[in-house]
């Protein structure tokens, strides 16, 4: 009788332990509306955007991303440096407990540096996310054009200035030309 009980409790402990292993951070993250940005052949970089929702009661850090479509993949943010938006690499992107972090043009993003292929609208690409506990999630996403958002460049000067900040929010590639305009 005693022996049966100890075997039972042992198997209970084992199943609890394997449950703990199963409940990894990748499983606690829901990804919605992912997309990669269309770039012409020869473009130095593209970017991937998505909304990350943390279903757990603990903050979760996205610590790395990888993709077969780019030579280097980095986690990036934008900072406002005296009115000029600049990108910089970050070590992680945190998704708050029971909260949401949005990766979007002008904010946090996954930088796809050195695309190995032209990224054209209609294609599907995948990006692998790595979380702090080493768990992974592969996200497949459409390539979308955000060209419409750069049309602001054709606006008259006064309107262009008003649109200025907004525009930075959408266009990394134009950073240099913005600096010249100042």
- Each residue 69-88 as x (binds Cu ion by CB under 5 A) or -, in order, gives -------x----------x-
Residue 126: name the closest of 115, 141, 111, 116 by CA.
141
Q: What values do phi and psi take at 156, rounded to 5? A: -60, 160
User: Is residue 149 involved in binding Cu ion (CB under 5 A)?
Assistant: no
**Which CB atom, from 111 or from 129, has the smaller least distance to Cu ion?**
111
CB of 79 to Cu ion, least distance (A): 11
Compute the distance between CA of residue 171 and CA of residue 91 in angstroms, rounded to an integer.
22
Site for Cu ion in 18-77 (CB under 5 A): 76
Q: Does residue 112 bind Cu ion (CB under 5 A)?
A: no
CB of 129 to Cu ion, least distance (A): 16
Tell me: does residue 111 bind Cu ion (CB under 5 A): yes
User: Least distance from C-beta 170 to Cu ion, angstroms?
Assistant: 13
- Asked if residue 49 lies in contact with residue 105, where contact means CB atoms within 8 angstroms, the answer is yes
Q: Which stretch binds Cu ion (CB under 5 A): 31-39, 109-117, 145-153, 156-164?
A: 109-117
Q: Compare residues 81 and 122 and give the one whose CB is closer to Cu ion.
A: 81
Between residues 76 and 168, which has the closer beta carbon with respect to Cu ion? 76
**Looking at beta carbons only, is 25 or 73 nearer to Cu ion?**
73
Positions touching Cu ion (CB under 5 A) are 76, 87, 111
């Amino acid at each position: 009788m005693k022996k049966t009980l100890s075997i039972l409790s042992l198997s209970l402990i084992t199943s609890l332990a394997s449950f703990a292993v199963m409940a990894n951070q990748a499983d606690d993250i829901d990804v919605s509306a992912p997309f990669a940005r269309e770039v012409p052949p020869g473009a130095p970089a593209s970017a991937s955007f998505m909304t990350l929702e943390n279903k757990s009661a603990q903050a979760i850090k996205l610590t790395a991303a990888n993709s077969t479509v780019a030579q280097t993949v980095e986690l990036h943010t934008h900072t406002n440096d005296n009115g000029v938006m600049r990108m910089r690499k970050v070590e992680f992107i945190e998704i708050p407990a029971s909260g949401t972090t949005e990766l979007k043009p002008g904010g946090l993003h996954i930088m796809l540096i050195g695309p190995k292929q032209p990224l054209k609208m209609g294609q599907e690409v995948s990006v692998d996310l790595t979380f702090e506990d080493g768990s992974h999630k592969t996200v497949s996403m459409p390539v979308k054009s955000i060209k419409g958002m750069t049309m602001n460049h054709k606006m008259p000067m006064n309107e262009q200035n008003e649109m200025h900040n907004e525009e930075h929010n959408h266009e990394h590639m134009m950073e240099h030309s913005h600096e010249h305009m100042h």
